[in-house]
Structure 1
Amino acid sequence: MNRPDSSVRNRLLLGLAAAAAGVTPVAQAADTTDSVVVTGTRSRDRTVLSSASPIDVLYADDLRRAAGPEGNLAAALQTLLPSFNFPRQSNSGAADHVRAAQLRGMSPDQVLVLVNGKRRHVSAVVNVESKTGKGTNPVDFNALPLNAVKRVEVLRDGAGAQYGSDAIAGVINIILDDAREGGEAVATAGGYSTRFAPTDERLTDGAGGELQLKQGWRLGDGFVRAGAELSRRQATNRAGADEVPFFEEPTPDNLALQGRRNYAAGDPQADKLGLWLNGALPLAGGQEAYAFGTWTRRDSVGAAYFRYPDSSANPDRFYPDGYRPETTGRSDDLALTAGVRGPLVGWEADASLAYGRNDFDFGVRRSLNASLGAASPTRFDLGGYRFDQWVANLDLSRPLNLGLAQPATLAVGAEWRREGFRSSAGDAASTAIGPVIAPPGAQAGPGLSPADTADTSRRIVGVYADLSADVSKQLFAEAAARYDHYSDAGGAGTGKLSARYAFTPALALRGAASTSFRAPSLAQEAFSFTTSNYGDGGVLSQVRTLPVGSAAAQALGARDLKPERSRNFSLGLTAQPAAGVSVTLDVYRIDVKDRITLSERFSSAALSSLLASQYGLLNVDGVNFFTNAVDTRTQGADLVGQWQGKAAGGDLQLSAAISASRTRIQRTEGLPAQLTALGASGGLVGLEEANTLTSSSPRQRHVFTAQWTGGAYGGLLRATRHGKTTRVFDFGDGFTPTQTYGATWQLDAEVEWRPTKAWALALGGVNITNRYPDRSIADIAYFGNLPYDVLSPVGFNGAYWYARARYTF
């Protein structure tokens, strides 16, 4: 067992102290209630409180302070938005490298992400080994440089009629920095220092930092703003003492590993470089040309399960002391948009063309193909994935005189998209079946075989119309309708009605009713992969995800995927009872029909025999595939309050944001007759997948924040309550370990000092009281190796400390 190096901790603390001797004081968070929003409405005068749907607005300074150990946008959103969930993953295959985020407890691919109002592309890889986001390929928030963001607008309401597919849970619109001059440089460094109870150690790891640069230039009446972001983070490890699984041979070499930390559980090692630009240039006739783009490369190293010296995965003692494979991921993410906007024959027009692409290369190192014996390599390419997207938009809007006190706003538009998904095979050794009688294929793989690769595309055409108006001094109303046609999934029509009625200038009622939809992603239709996952009795086994259109899946009763369809209802109150005070309360219900999810894992001797004899799928212990087998209902409420005033010679802001939601399954499909005949039992969606949909993410999260600014100093204190989560495993034969992890409080703090107008220095900590989730029970802790589950948003790394320096010019 490696003992922690106390000198590393001492150097970290000395670095923090040195930084304090020398970044903007903690600026009072902007009062967003009067901010004009551009998300969720085509009107140009709606604010957070006067909008007909709930909208959160977050600014760059708040996001920077909330980014925490990971230093990325999604981590900041989770800190600031109770309805946003971005849990860590570990020992989860590709999910270690591309994490998924949730809004309002829905699936990660049920939230639409925009950048400057334009649709963002999704990631190329499907997460099939994670818990949160299992079976989805959502937008990779980590591919968006944090210092590129001016503000984020989060629409917490269904918006399929306004934006098209994916907007079931809501819309996140990321507005890029457009300052026309000046710049800044920000450097952040930090690491974990924690008392780890399972092994009674003081651990110091996860050290890392970021360097962010950006600059703006005027171009006449136009501008260009560009920036770069470089980060490096070391891995963390919170694995426990190994008890050695009962199903491993009790040989002296295996038993000698008892009590050691053989596994890894924690954050992956990650290196990232991001570049971005945003610009606009006036044209003759009053129009404006604009362009923006981002590019990110991220290399990461994740963890896989340990292989013992005398296991079948190490037949020739290739690794005398056993080995723990490490998964590797390289993600290249590119997005470019260009367009022209301005007046056009009585309309305000915006025509744009966007291209987005994500490439993900998956591999494994410190591994071997046991069937190749001594001839096996130790590093493998497991395959590559690409998703690319072209989007052309034409949006038109104009005032419309309907005889009301003020003109209404009419907006119409059209969108054309072309999406493509392609996968490439891993190297030959990653799938080879060698002469040694041992598990074939790369351990922690195997790779993607040529027969499992895919190359598919589709085209989508959509049109919409939107009409909004102040019907009276008290009543604002908006109606939207949209129709989209997918070349592979058919057509879908959606609509939305929303309204806001002001009883007084300080009190208003708002509500909306809408329908939305989400077409199955190309990757969900064509994805195929084999993973090492828990099988019968909790033993690691090979589980293969079959494409729904494949002959093997069809023979097991799989059916072609169809779009999810939803009905959204929301009702809320907004109030400003006194100067500096605002309160909003919104309740909602989201019904989703034909929800897309992975089926349960099915295994039997007859099934394995059929796959091998009829379809050439050898050494497969279990299978699953995507299905529309579930209808769900999500109900919840969001309460947000804010107070601003003077205190202790400075400005004080207090805020509380409380979110609660619950998802229930309304319908599930029974098992196809084909699977029943092969000895499978249960339903298409069983205990584990039902747990993923309903109770694996927190039902409640509450965030309480206090910020104070006075002169050159400022401070922030934030308390977050993460609600309970539940983990369910189904290991077969009625063995279903289940545990509910209790609610956990997290305390974050930061102090900031501005010695000059240009310089600002900050010291802070995340989870400064070193809170951990509940310990996992023995049946879930995997023989002592995984003492904490990944489900809790508080994570299981302990306290994190950081220093930040910021120079503006």
Structure 2
Amino acid sequence: MKTPSVALLGAAALVVALPALAQTTDTVAANNAAPAATTDVAAADTGNAEIEQVIVTGTRAKNRTVLDSAVPVDVITAQDLQAAGSVNGELGQALQVLLPSFSFPRQSNSGGADHVRAAQLRGLSPDQVLVLINGKRWHTSALVNDSSKIGRGTAPVDFNSIPINAVKRIEVLRDGAGAQYGSDAIAGVINVVLDDGRDGGEIAASYGGYHTHEDPIDKSITDGQNVYTGAKIGTRLGDDGGYARVGAEYKHRNPTNRAGFDDFDDPPGVNRNYAMGDGEARDVNLWFNAALPVSVGEIYSFATYNHRDTTGYDFYRYPDEAPDVYPDGFLPQTLGENQDIGATAGLRGHIGTPWSYDFSLTHGRNQFDSGVRDTLNESLGTDSPLSFKTGDYELRQTTANLDFTRDLALGARSFLLAFGGEYRYENYRTSPGDESSYDGTGAVGGSGLRPSETVNLDRNVEAIYLDLSGDVADKFFVDAAARYEHYEDAGGKLTGKLSARYEFARALALRGAVSNNFRAPSLAQVGFQHTTSNFGEGGTLVDIRVLSVNDPIARALGARDLEPETSRNFSLGFTGQLGDNFDYSLDVYHIDVDNRITLSTRIGDEEGHLEQYVEDNFGESGVQYVNFFTNAADTRTDGAELVLNYHETLWGGRFGASTAYTYNKNKVRGTEQTPAQLQAILPDVGNDALVGVEERNTLTDASPRDRLILSSDWRNAKWGLLGRVTRQGATTRVFDFGDGFHPTQTYNARWQLDAEVEYHITTQLSLAVGGNNLTDNYPERSNDDINYGHNLPYDVLSPIGSNGAYYYGRLNYSF
């Protein structure tokens, strides 16, 4: 276990009073379809202008700025993302580096989470944050993470399918916003604003890798090399402000491995049979963003495309499990081919003097093809293939929006009135794997999807909304919104939000919001089925089948139609500016979520009662353990977020620093009792079988309770210096190995030091070198109850990661 070094402590002391998320923003006209916002994490290095600019997420008012927002919003710029994303060009990773309220942990040996990583906001579920691109609702992944710890049972938005060089800025609304944006916005909204540069372009390339000392094997390792190349260019269209911006990216990540010596092997403690870490990944990204003025307004369009091939790690199978085919044992690898595309086209303009309008059509599609290799189907013996296609998952979403806004005089005050409607069509379908992948016992490490388990589901969603905002008195701003949204399969819900801000003085303003929000179950959660391997009774590997709630077996065990999640959100905060160089915000919040959707605990027993019941009643053999989706938990989240920003002119350049801290505590308020049908089949299952100890841990303590980011930045015409210290809070892991054995470990907080130096060789060409986790810190080692014979020496889910120190270089050429 490593401790903070002298260099780390020195850096912390240097920036502790003034550090952190250096960010800038550009003035942007509010998009009618994209309600506007301001930034709490303001530019540390560019001065006062940025915190006084207009914003575009969180309210439709056209004149709200960074400091006078009624709700907390962070703004991340392209420059911030460039430095933070130099590890591998991943957008989600860059956001975690910059925002303490955003969690994007690396997971290993975790099924689908090895291929599509899930992000959290404010410690809530990944599917409880709504993602927009240029203000338009974006689609989620088709893959449900069924074996992960964070995001288990969710189909999250795939942040890494969004090209990082396409981003002009990102606005993160940390508040419930269902009345403004619709379903999914329980934790908040992340709006990605694309680059709209009318001239010039950029070419960027970076290379880096991990160089670390892994204590469990006492060796220095260099691996995980990352290559990133990206280019973009823009041009003017016509003479009235039209533009077209296009770009492309290529990324390649080599795998890492931090497994320990295998104590279960013969001889023990000599070989590394397992693998834990990042799998290999190759990405190709394409994008464009364009607008063209016409006689009736402006035609606009934008799109992103991602193709990714990935590998993930399964668990090692020992020689006695397949002596004829793999006499020395084998380590299956999971495979993923991800194709993601989203495109929007629209027309916006004015109708007469007071009215403006925006009509748009957005289509999104995600397809994930899964497979497994270096394995076999034991029931086929020596005739078994050694690689298998295990199933295809596809999500399609088409959304039409029509929005209107106008200024409205009420008495002596001027307000902004906005209203509109949305129609959305969603389709989710799955296709079976190779017959050999599910025949008999199925492929080891990833049994294929059977034809009987495939689905083709669709639904229609309609919504209307109304929003009124303005100053009801001097220095007193109020925003009221209401929305009715109806799902064909899940019913309708009326949501509302009231937010307000009162400025006592420039140095102190009070803000707050109250809202109710909801999230309808995704079609993926309704229809997803899959079989995976995980640790079961006594820590042995068992196959677990995820059942759709519509599956006859699940119904017989007590599964019911999923209901929408509902929430009640409250927030209260202070914000202000002291002098011209320092601003601050402090917000506290409270979120109650009812009917939270999660995967049930693993259902089954070592004695085989469930297996016998399924074979007798449904004619299927070998079904030892199952789980299914359920609305079994009500949760509560309480938290606080602090942001401090400081900037000044120093040594001929601009110096900026800030501190960002977040704290949230999650608890389970109540759970649904075990269905009577299940208790009749498994009398010893208990009254709390749907949400067991592992599921409670997932909802409460598996993510850090707090995170602190301290960063400082200094730049002039030639040099740029960046230092960042991050403290990842403690996490707790709880496992259920049966018979009341629940091994538990709390992993203490860890510090991480990142730094970068950039030199402008010319005004157009710059070179940067830097490193993340420069002190080569690791999480605590897992105890003997959890590390599986020292094969998995670190927690597969760790906020600081288990890869060690990373070093990189980056070249940028702008023209």
- Calculate the TM-score normalised by the size of structure 2: 0.93
Matched, 1:692 2:701: no
Indicate the residue corresponding to 1:392 in structure 2.
400
Q: Please tell me the residue identity of whatever aligns with 1:271.
A: R
Indicate the residue corresponding to 1:157 in structure 2.
175
Indicate the residue corresponding to 1:301 in structure 2.
311
SS of 2:620's equivalent in the other structure is coil
Indicate the residue corresponding to 1:409 in structure 2.
416
Separation of aligned partners in 2, 1:233 and 1:257: 32
Deviation at 1:649, TM superposition (A): 3.3
Indicate the residue corresponding to 1:378 in structure 2.
386
Matched, 1:715 2:717: no
Deviation at 1:36, TM superposition (A): 1.5
Deviation at 1:535, TM superposition (A): 0.9
Matched, 1:430 2:437: yes
The within-5 A match list for 1:25-44 is 29-30=45-46, 32-44=50-62
Q: Please tell me the residue identity of whatever aligns with 1:128.
A: D
Among residues 360, 370, 378, which one is paired with 1:362 in the alignment? 370
The within-5 A match list for 1:173-322 is 173-220=191-238, 221=240, 222-244=242-264, 255-256=266-267, 258-285=269-296, 287-311=297-321, 314-316=322-324, 318-322=325-329
Separation of aligned partners in 1, 2:65 and 2:780: 41
Deviation sequence 1:473-503 (CA, Å, 0-9, x none):
2100010000000000000110000000000
Q: Please tell me the residue identity of whatever aligns with 1:209.
A: V
CA contact (8 A) 1:404 1:471 kept: no
Indicate the residue corresponding to 1:325 in structure 2.
332
SS of 1:401's equivalent in the other structure is strand
Deviation at 1:66, TM superposition (A): 0.7
Separation of aligned partners in 1, 2:549 and 2:100: 35
Indicate the residue corresponding to 1:772 in structure 2.
778
Q: CA RMSD in A?
A: 1.1
Among residues 333, 338, 345, which one is paired with 1:338 in the alignment? 345
CA contact (8 A) 1:143 1:295 kept: yes
SS of 1:374's equivalent in the other structure is helix
The within-5 A match list for 1:330-729 is 330-345=337-352, 346-405=354-413, 407-433=414-440, 440-604=441-605, 605-679=608-682, 680-683=685-688, 684-729=690-735
Separation of aligned partners in 1, 2:171 and 2:237: 28
Between 330-339 and 42-51, the greater mean CA deviation after superposition: 42-51
CA contact (8 A) 2:357 2:405 kept: yes
Deviation sequence 1:173-226 (CA, Å, 0-9, x none):
000000001000000000000011000000000012100000001111311000
Separation of aligned partners in 2, 1:144 and 1:175: 11
CA contact (8 A) 1:698 1:792 kept: no
Indicate the residue corresponding to 2:108 in structure 1.
90
Deviation sequence 1:576-602 (CA, Å, 0-9, x none):
112110000000001001111111111
Separation of aligned partners in 2, 1:711 and 1:69: 25
CA contact (8 A) 1:722 1:792 kept: no
Deviation sequence 1:499-531 (CA, Å, 0-9, x none):
000001231000000000000000101111111
CA contact (8 A) 1:235 1:266 kept: yes
Q: Please tell me the residue identity of whatever aligns with 2:245.
A: R
Between 261-270 and 67-76, the greater mean CA deviation after superposition: 67-76
Gaps of 5+ in 1: 1-26, 245-253, 434-439
Deviation at 1:365, TM superposition (A): 0.7
Matched, 1:117 2:117: no
Separation of aligned partners in 2, 1:344 and 1:698: 50
Between 424-433 and 668-677, the greater mean CA deviation after superposition: 668-677
Q: Please tell me the residue identity of whatever aligns with 2:219.
A: E
Separation of aligned partners in 1, 2:326 and 2:799: 36
Gaps of 5+ in 2: 1-42
- Give aligned-pair identity as a percent: 55
Which stretches of structure 1, 4 residues or more, deviate above 6 A after TM superposition? Answer: none
Deviation at 1:47, TM superposition (A): 1.3
Deviation at 1:619, TM superposition (A): 1.2
SS of 1:411's equivalent in the other structure is strand
SS of 1:460's equivalent in the other structure is strand
CA contact (8 A) 2:96 2:102 kept: yes
Separation of aligned partners in 1, 2:246 and 2:113: 30
SS of 1:576's equivalent in the other structure is strand
Separation of aligned partners in 2, 1:599 and 1:70: 34
Separation of aligned partners in 2, 1:669 and 1:29: 51
Deviation at 1:48, TM superposition (A): 2.0
SS of 1:174's equivalent in the other structure is strand
Indicate the residue corresponding to 2:36 in structure 1.
none
Deviation sequence 1:728-786 (CA, Å, 0-9, x none):
00111111000000000000000000011110000000000000011000111111010
SS of 1:788's equivalent in the other structure is coil
CA contact (8 A) 2:323 2:329 kept: no
Indicate the residue corresponding to 2:20 in structure 1.
none
Q: Please tell me the residue identity of whatever aligns with 2:457.
A: T
Among residues 66, 70, 79, which one is paired with 1:52 in the alignment? 70
Deviation at 1:647, TM superposition (A): 2.6
Q: Please tell me the residue identity of whatever aligns with 2:253.
A: R
Deviation at 1:70, TM superposition (A): 2.8
SS of 1:429's equivalent in the other structure is helix
Indicate the residue corresponding to 1:11 in structure 2.
none
Separation of aligned partners in 1, 2:269 and 2:580: 64
Indicate the residue corresponding to 1:781 in structure 2.
787
CA contact (8 A) 1:30 1:59 kept: no
SS of 2:389's equivalent in the other structure is strand
Deviation sequence 1:30-68 (CA, Å, 0-9, x none):
554223211110111111211100000110000110114
Separation of aligned partners in 2, 1:365 and 1:35: 53
Deviation at 1:682, TM superposition (A): 4.3
**In the superposition, relative to structure 1, how do residues 256 and 372 fare at CA in structure 2: closer, same or farther (>3 Å)?**
farther
CA contact (8 A) 1:28 1:709 kept: no
Q: Please tell me the residue identity of whatever aligns with 2:250.
A: L
CA contact (8 A) 1:383 1:426 kept: yes
SS of 1:471's equivalent in the other structure is strand
Separation of aligned partners in 2, 1:404 and 1:117: 31
Deviation sequence 1:296-318 (CA, Å, 0-9, x none):
0000111111111112xx142x1
Between 618-627 and 271-280, the greater mean CA deviation after superposition: 618-627
Separation of aligned partners in 2, 1:655 and 1:493: 39
CA contact (8 A) 2:610 2:623 kept: no
Q: Please tell me the residue identity of whatever aligns with 1:168.
A: I
Indicate the residue corresponding to 1:135 in structure 2.
153
Separation of aligned partners in 1, 2:233 and 2:620: 55
Among residues 732, 737, 751, which one is paired with 2:738 in the alignment? 732
The within-5 A match list for 1:733-772 is 733-772=739-778
- Calculate the TM-score normalised by the size of structure 1: 0.93
Separation of aligned partners in 2, 1:468 and 1:615: 58
